[in-house]
Amino acid sequence: MRSALAWVMSVLCLTILLPPAAANADNPIVQTIYTADPAPLVHNGRLYLYTGHDEDGSTYFTMRDWRVYSTTDMANWTDHGSPMSLATFAWADANAWAGHVAYRNGRFYWYVPVRNRSTGGMAIGVGVGDSPTGPFRDALGRPLVENNEIDPNVLIDDSGQAYLYWGNPRLAYVRLNSDMISYSGAVTYIPLTTAGYGTRTGNPSRPTLYEEGPWVFKRNGQYYNVFAAECCSEFIGYSTAPSPTGPWTYRGTVMPRQGGSFTNHAGIVDYAGGSYFFYHNGALPGGGGYTRSVAVEKFAYNADGTIPTINMTTAGPPQVGTLDPFVRQEAETIAWSSGVETEPSGEGGMNVGFIENGDHIKVKGVAFGNGASSFTARVASGTTGGRIELRLGSATGTLVGTCAVNGTGGWQNWTTVTCPVSGASGTRDLYLRFAGGAGYLLNLNWWQFTPSGGGGGNLLTNGTMEDGTTGWTSSGGTLSSATDVAHAGSRSLLTSGRTSAWQGPHQNVTNRLTNGKTYTTSVWVRSQSGTPSAKATLTLTANGTTSYLQLTPAQTVTATGWTQLTGTATVSWTGTLTSASFYVETATGTDGLYIDDASFQ
Ligand code: FUB
């Protein structure tokens, strides 16, 4: 239950946090809290963004936890909450500052600078997790390295040798061992020469531009170090080198000084065919040097490998593809929000909460296709509820449906509501606008539209696999909810230990089929090992006779990425249908199979 104090605090904070009038802007990425020090990581086709968290009203770098967000379209970002905080490191007492996550051998290593309680100096700790969204635990129970400096960053070179860089005012590195939590050799300090790191004037103790926040990566045989330069205010500069240890040559400015925060902090990644530059600024209301927000721009390297000058925008990058409203979408998947916050959900993951009259969530580029007939939402309310207005184009745009939400007896007592929708077609920005009386109205965990045209929507229960194994069984082997890989969201469904090619995940759809109707199938598949040929099949038993209908052509799937199986097929039977089952199998072989985001409609 929320306390009266929390409510009052929230009203005060939200008054400050209301977004600017240009509510169509998509930068900064997160509007629910202040974020800083971005560190992007691409894993299994999804872009994860690790950030710090500036506490509201800070007058110093008051930071107690780190946050994770992710996207597949560079426009709508899913909030995964805070899987690591100062409390993760029993030996640390303050300063959850700029970290970096590296993936190796099935694990995620999160290197962070924190204050060592016993020495009072800054040290670098390592969190380790089995999934990109955590949870993370202290890998060592002590600092990995300590020299009272900050901002760790890891490069895993093509040779497999990993380097940990960090530092302010110096720039240091060590060679990490392959366990990623120990190192060999001494701490080496990179010579900060003006040739390598530019010339700073007026500060004899710091003759070069290097300030902090190294971001080292390799591209086309060249090593880059993109760093925060010449405080204060900082700009982002970069140097290049023929090896991870130098010699470095200063190349100039990436992002000039701008944005209302006296620090900046860079992270660069390639994703979905584009290059993206992450940074932070003070652009949210109430924002500044200690209340920062992470933003992103798309850019293209120049033909000679140099980085162009990048300026901050409020629009951010173009969306990659569209968002599918006909599969379950988390409420905390947001392009822009006004007034709302997020919190851990009793049903797992996060939910949107602290919703008041007039607040809204924008979801960008929603592909309604030929139209939607209804909207379903997972909601809870500890008061008397409110309404979810479905609007297109803006928070005051065309109203295509309204869902009433009643009190459910608690903020985590979840129920599902459905309401009709009319007039939503094509690809539009969707605004979930909340309306009702005074105070908090409702919480929202997830939502999903049903397509119009009598399709009846996805016949499969838990097609996103985010509800564990709910709705699914296996005709052999072991069925489990997997968190190591997911096509979208944080889970997929794994059938391991198969002993026959026909064994795979399946779901009973007997009472959901219409005789003579044509159905479309889509399911994302990957193998645990090997490259088997996979297909989706429907088994139908009517009047004692069993037939098999191929729902998709067979396609080779791999263990390194997801393959989409799609197809259309007309379902028909004679007599009384006693059993029908949707399943995924392989043509031959018994490799374990992951499936995710399955729809049959
Ligand atoms: O967020 C705290 C500190 O501010 C970071 O460690 C630096 O990179 C600067 O962004």
- Checking if the pLDDT of 519 tops 90, the result is no
**pLDDT value of residue 515:** 86
Estimate the share of the chain in helix, then strand, then coil, as percent rounded to the nearest 5: 5, 50, 50
Q: The domain 2-17+462-600: what is its CATH number?
A: 2.60.120.260
Looking at the DSSP bridge assignments, the partners of residue 537 are: 550, 583
Q: Which of 73, 211, 212, 341 is catalytic?
A: 212
Q: The domain 34-299: what is its CATH number?
A: 2.115.10.20
Indicate if ligand 1 lies below 6 Å from the C-beta of 265. yes
pLDDT digits (tens, 9 = 90+) for 410-437: 999 999 999 999 999 999 999 999 999 9
Give the DSSP H or E segment for 222. strand 222-229
C-alpha–C-alpha distance, residues 372 and 130, integer Å: 38
- Checking if the pLDDT of 21 tops 90, the result is no
| Helix and strand totals (H; E) in the chain | 2, 45
562-576 average pLDDT score: 83
Q: Which of 37, 54, 230, 591 is catalytic?
A: 37
Q: Which of 146, 151, 84 is nearest to 117 (CA)?
A: 146
* CA 246 to ligand 1 center in whole angstroms: 24
- Checking if the pLDDT of 363 tops 90, the result is yes
Domains 34-299 and 329-453 share a fold: no
**pLDDT value of residue 457:** 61
Phi and psi at residue 87, in whole multiples of 5°? Answer: -65, -20
Indicate if ligand 1 lies below 6 Å from the C-beta of 151. yes
402-408 average pLDDT score: 98
pLDDT digits (tens, 9 = 90+) for 137-168: 999 999 999 999 999 999 999 999 999 999 99
Q: Tell the burial category of 366 from Cβ atoms under 10 Å away from its Cβ (0-12, 13-18, 19+).
A: buried
Find where tokens 């109205």 sit: 441
* 415, two tokens: 């129920």
* CA 148 to ligand 1 center in whole angstroms: 14
**pLDDT value of residue 438:** 97
pLDDT digits (tens, 9 = 90+) for 450-463: 999 755 567 888 88
**pLDDT value of residue 563:** 82
* 197, two tokens: 């790191």
- Checking if the pLDDT of 569 tops 70, the result is yes
Closest atom of ligand 1 to CA, residue 280: 10
276-305 average pLDDT score: 98
Closest atom of ligand 1 to CA, residue 264: 10
- Checking if the pLDDT of 242 tops 70, the result is yes
- Checking if the pLDDT of 22 tops 50, the result is no
**pLDDT value of residue 454:** 54
Indicate if ligand 1 lies below 6 Å from the C-beta of 98. yes
Q: Is the pLDDT higher at 5 or at 81? A: 81
From 34, 150, 280, 293, give the residue whose CB has the most ligand 1 atoms within 8 Å, as the site to mutate: 150
- Checking if the pLDDT of 235 tops 80, the result is yes
* 449, two tokens: 């539209």
Instruction: Give, using CA atoms, the residue closest to atom 2 of ligand 1.
Output: 97
- Checking if the pLDDT of 298 tops 50, the result is yes
* CA 263 to ligand 1 center in whole angstroms: 7
Model pTM greater than 0.85? no
308-325 average pLDDT score: 97
* CA 332 to ligand 1 center in whole angstroms: 26
Asked if residues 438 and 466 have their Cβ atoms less than 8 Å apart, the reply is no
Give the DSSP H or E segment for 197. helix 194-197
**pLDDT value of residue 42:** 98
Instruction: Give, using CA atoms, the residue closest to atom 9 of ligand 1.
Output: 263
* CA 209 to ligand 1 center in whole angstroms: 16
Read off the pLDDT band of 521 (50, 70, 90).
Answer: confident
Fold of domain 329-453: Jelly Rolls (2.60.120)
Asked if residues 423 and 480 have their Cβ atoms less than 8 Å apart, the reply is no
C-alpha–C-alpha distance, residues 165 and 197, integer Å: 15
pLDDT digits (tens, 9 = 90+) for 167-226: 999 999 999 999 999 999 999 999 999 999 999 999 999 999 999 999 999 999 999 999
| Number of C-beta neighbours around residue 105 at 10 A | 8
**pLDDT value of residue 271:** 97
* 87, two tokens: 């409390």
Asked if residues 137 and 129 have their Cβ atoms less than 8 Å apart, the reply is yes
**pLDDT value of residue 567:** 75
**pLDDT value of residue 12:** 33
Of 22-36, 294-308, 333-347, the poorest mean pLDDT is in 22-36
* 401, two tokens: 């449906």
C-alpha–C-alpha distance, residues 523 and 507, integer Å: 13
pLDDT digits (tens, 9 = 90+) for 34-61: 999 999 999 999 999 999 999 999 999 9
C-alpha–C-alpha distance, residues 27 and 313, integer Å: 7
**pLDDT value of residue 8:** 28
What percent of the chain has a predicted confidence (pLDDT) above 70?
A: 95
- Checking if the pLDDT of 74 tops 50, the result is yes
Angle at 334 between CA 329 and CA 336, to 5 degrees: 155
**pLDDT value of residue 332:** 98
Indicate if ligand 1 lies below 6 Å from the C-beta of 61. yes
* 39, two tokens: 């560190």
- Checking if the pLDDT of 4 tops 90, the result is no
What percent of the chain has a predicted confidence (pLDDT) above 90?
A: 83
Closest atom of ligand 1 to CA, residue 150: 6
Q: Is the pLDDT higher at 511 or at 338? A: 338
Domain boundaries defined on the chain: 2-17+462-600, 34-299, 329-453
C-alpha–C-alpha distance, residues 56 and 3, integer Å: 18
Indicate if ligand 1 lies below 6 Å from the C-beta of 122. no
509-529 average pLDDT score: 85
436-442 average pLDDT score: 98
From 53, 63, 151, give the residue whose CB has the most ligand 1 atoms within 8 Å, as the site to mutate: 151
Indicate if ligand 1 lies below 6 Å from the C-beta of 37. yes
Asked if residues 41 and 156 have their Cβ atoms less than 8 Å apart, the reply is no
| Mean pLDDT rounded to a whole number for the chain | 92
274-290 average pLDDT score: 98
Read off the pLDDT band of 566 (50, 70, 90).
Answer: confident
Of 239-248, 427-436, 498-507, the poorest mean pLDDT is in 498-507
**pLDDT value of residue 13:** 34
